């Protein structure tokens, strides 16, 4: 199951890798509609992490991409534990921009400023880990990091940042102010790829996993 599936970007990856049925659970109707359009063969279900609409022990694995920090709670962990089969796995994935480059650090400062204004829960705060520390529902949380690069033109990069949920929900004037700041940063970049003059934005994927324990509180 892909929990908090959004518009289905990760659902498409899972389907390609696993070559088996993957249910996509998403609470927001607009995102479910886009998911259904983008992935016509997807099994899309309305549901929340705190109330997953499936029977006990229904799944071998639950995967959450870019989302667990939004709903990290004892209730959501209990629900995930409930729908997993004994020994089933829980996987968490976040893509993080690599701020070792000065221009990426500058980019992150702008984005972080808007997140602070709206008091958005963030993965990098690490507070989501507290739920695992205070629970005996799952085995020890393991982790691994994978580096990758996203390539795009200045416009496709700008569109990517404008699609961030708390940026997309800004009023038009605020979104334009944000876009202006990002354009200035991107415009100063020298071409980093000879192929189609693409900008290369370095990321690392932070991947965590654990397994359902029999014990529960």
Residues recorded for the chain: 217
Residue 15: per-residue pLDDT? 75
76: pLDDT confidence band, cut at 50, 70 and 90? very high
Which one, of 86, 83, 105, 87, lies nearest residue 96 by Cα?
105
Residue 174: per-residue pLDDT? 94
Instruction: Please report whether residue 28 resides in a domain.
Output: no
Residue 195: per-residue pLDDT? 54
Q: How many CB atoms lie within 10 A of CB 9?
A: 14
pLDDT in tens, 33-48: 989 988 888 899 999 9
Find the domain containing 116 and state its range: 48-211
Cβ–Cβ under 8 Å, residues 183 and 207 = no
Residue 193: per-residue pLDDT? 46
Residue 56 has pLDDT above 90, yes or no: yes
Residue 44: per-residue pLDDT? 93
Give whole-number Cα distances, 53 to 25, 168, 195, in Å.
9, 29, 46
Instruction: Please report whether residue 53 resides in a domain.
Output: yes
Instruction: Please report whether residue 61 resides in a domain.
Output: yes
Instruction: Please report whether residue 206 resides in a domain.
Output: yes
Instruction: Please report whether residue 110 resides in a domain.
Output: yes
Cβ–Cβ under 8 Å, residues 157 and 186 = yes
Sheet holding 59-65, edge to edge: 43-46, 23-26, 2-3, 59-65, 84-97, 199-211, 142-152
pLDDT in tens, 180-216: 999 999 988 754 444 567 889 999 999 999 999 975 4
Residue 61: per-residue pLDDT? 95
Average pLDDT over residues 90-104: 95
CA separation for the pair 10, 163 (Å, rounded): 16
What percent of the chain is predicted at pLDDT more than 90?
Answer: 68
Domain harbouring 205, CATH code: 3.40.50.150
Instruction: Please report whether residue 124 resides in a domain.
Output: yes
Residue 168: per-residue pLDDT? 84
pLDDT in tens, 120-171: 899 999 999 999 998 999 999 999 999 999 999 999 999 989 988 889 889 9
Average pLDDT over residues 72-82: 96
Number of domain units in the chain: 1
Residue 217: per-residue pLDDT? 45
Instruction: Please report whether residue 64 resides in a domain.
Output: yes
Residue 57 has pLDDT above 70, yes or no: yes
Instruction: Please report whether residue 72 resides in a domain.
Output: yes
Claim: this prediction has a pTM higher than 0.85: yes
Residue 97 has pLDDT above 80, yes or no: yes
């Amino acid at each position: 199951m892909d929990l908090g599936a959004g518009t289905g970007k990760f659902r498409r990856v899972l389907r390609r890798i696993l070559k088996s049925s993957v249910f996509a659970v998403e609470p927001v109707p607009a995102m479910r509609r886009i998911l259904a359009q983008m992935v016509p063969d997807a099994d899309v279900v309305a549901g929340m992490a705190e109330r997953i609409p499936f029977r006990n022990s229904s799944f071998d694995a639950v995967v959450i991409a870019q989302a667990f920090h939004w709903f990290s709670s004892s209730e959501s962990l209990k629900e995930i534990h409930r729908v997993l089969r004994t020994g089933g796995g829980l996987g968490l994935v976040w893509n993080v921009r690599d701020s070792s480059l000065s221009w990426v650090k500058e980019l992150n400062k702008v984005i972080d400023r808007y997140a602070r204004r709206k008091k958005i829960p963030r993965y990098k705060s690490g507070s989501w880990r507290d739920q695992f520390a205070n629970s005996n529902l799952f085995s020890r949380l393991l982790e691994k990091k994978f580096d990758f690069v996203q390539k795009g033109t200045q416009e496709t990069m700008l569109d990517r940042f404008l699609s961030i949920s708390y940026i997309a929900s800004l009023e038009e004037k605020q979104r334009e102010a944000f876009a202006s700041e990002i354009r200035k940063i991107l415009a100063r970049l020298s071409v980093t790829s000879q192929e189609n003059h693409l900008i290369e934005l370095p990321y690392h994927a932070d991947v965590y996993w654990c397994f359902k324990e029999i014990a529960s509180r």
